[in-house]
């Protein structure tokens, strides 16, 4: 899928505040703040990734390159991919009690989007 440069300029980045929701409390084990998405508490890292993918889903999803550039930081390239996949897996485990999950499209390079499961 070819995207025009104007569409790419409109796509949000973590730096633009995607995924910012009120705190829903703290983790009883580690004491870190937890953020709520669809009624499920997520760690700040999971909530940021979820918000990023959620915001880009209407635009066709978040590509691995976009996730690396706006979300995964300055880690080595392979480690970024592992971090993204592990965070998506952990987020999906937390979202298991809801109708939502983050899925890849099965193509290379992968594009992730938020879907609602049908009951």
pLDDT at 82 over 50: yes
Give the number of residues written for the chain.
119
**Across 8-17, 52-61, 100-109, least confident range:** 8-17
Partners of 35 in beta bridges: 23, 42
Query: What is the pLDDT, as a whole number, of residue 6?
Result: 39
Q: What distance in Å separates the CA atoms of residue 106 and residue 119, rounded to the nearest whole number?
A: 22
Contact 64, 81 (CB under 8 A): yes
Cβ atoms < 10 Å from Cβ of 46: 23
Q: What is the pLDDT of residues 13-60, one digit of tens each?
A: 443 333 334 455 766 666 667 788 888 888 888 999 999 999 999 999
Query: CA distances (Å), 68 to each of 5, 55, 119, in order?
Result: 19, 16, 33
pLDDT at 88 over 90: yes
Which residue, 19, 70, 75, 62, is CA-closest to 42? Answer: 19
pLDDT at 7 over 50: no
Percent of the chain beyond pLDDT 70?
73
Average pLDDT over residues 53-76: 88
pLDDT at 109 over 60: yes
Query: What is the pLDDT, as a whole number, of residue 30?
Result: 67
CA 54 to chain centre: 7
Domains and CATH numbers, the chain: 24-116 (1.10.10)
């Amino acid at each position: 899928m070819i995207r025009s440069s104007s569409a790419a300029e409109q796509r949000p980045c973590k730096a633009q505040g995607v995924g910012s929701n009120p705190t829903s409390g703290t983790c009883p084990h580690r004491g870190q703040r937890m953020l709520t998405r669809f009624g499920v508490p997520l760690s700040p890292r999971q909530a940021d990734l979820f918000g990023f993918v959620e915001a880009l889903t209407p635009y066709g999803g978040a590509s691995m390159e976009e996730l690396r550039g706006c979300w995964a930081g300055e880690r080595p390239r392979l480690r970024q991919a592992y971090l993204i996949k592990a965070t998506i897996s952990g987020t999906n485990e937390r979202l298991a009690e809801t109708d939502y999950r983050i899925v890849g499209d099965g193509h290379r390079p992968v594009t992730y989007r938020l879907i609602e499961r049908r009951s």
